[in-house]
Amino acid sequence: MIKSFIRTATPLFLLTSIFLPTSSANDALAQGKASYAVCASCHGQQGEGQKLTNSPRISHLSSWYLTSSIKKFKTNERGYHASDTNGAQMKAMAALLPNSKAINNVVAYIKTLSSKKALDKIEGDPVKGKALYMICSSCHSPDGTGNEAMSAPQISGQHGWYIQNQLKAFKTGLRGTQKGDATGAQMVPMASTLIDDKAIADVVAYIQTLK
């Protein structure tokens, strides 16, 4: 009987490999959910974003971009400018995530959230915006879904007011001028091709037509 049990029983190391990863993943999500409780006050319970706090929709963003953005706030590549009050708030929030594991956990939890595509509209001319967007498409892709190889996030489905504010931030130095922020530095000259607020509104209006 003992020999029969040995032949048919599942080895202990296989049982361990089956059950521990699931438990570990659940623990990571639970920890990420706990960390996100602070984030939700600005980004919303489902990562939908809020205009009042200038917080973007994040539920649709790629894990690599979410991770990169949080790390930039922790290393002072974002939120460094004295006039960037929203960035300063995010730096304080990012500081609550002590290490890469904590960042990975909260990002994993964010990826379980589901919020609808932003429906707010910017008053601009999407026809003119389409021409202006050509230079943006080389990194953010023609459909606005982003490109990890270019470190360019998805911008389709994002709130128009948030995109508008970030383009202005790049133009004025609130973003992209800190030492070490190579991808932000790439955005500064791109944003500068939009000569005024009307051009920004036009390109954002076009981005909002992307699916």
CATH number of residue 135's parent domain = 1.10.760.10
Q: Using an 8 Å Cβ cutoff, are 107 and 59 in contact?
A: no
* One domain for residues 80 and 169: no
| Residues 200, 136 share a domain | yes
Same domain? 94 vs 138: no
pLDDT band at 6 (very low <50, low <70, confident <90, very high): very low
Domain that holds residue 177: 126-207
Give me the percent of the chain exceeding a pLDDT of 70.
Answer: 89
Burial class for 125, CB neighbours closer than 10 Å (0-12, 13-18, 19+): middle
Q: Is the pLDDT of residue 77 over 50?
A: yes
99, 137: one domain: no
pTM: 0.86
- One domain, residues 89 and 140: no
Q: Rounded to whole angstroms, what are the CA distances from 26 to 13, 21, 29, 31, 61?
A: 20, 8, 5, 9, 21
pLDDT in tens, 136-190: 999 999 999 999 999 999 999 999 999 999 999 999 999 999 999 999 999 999 9
Domain count, the chain: 2
- Looking at the fold, whether 98 and 153 belong to one and the same domain comes out as no
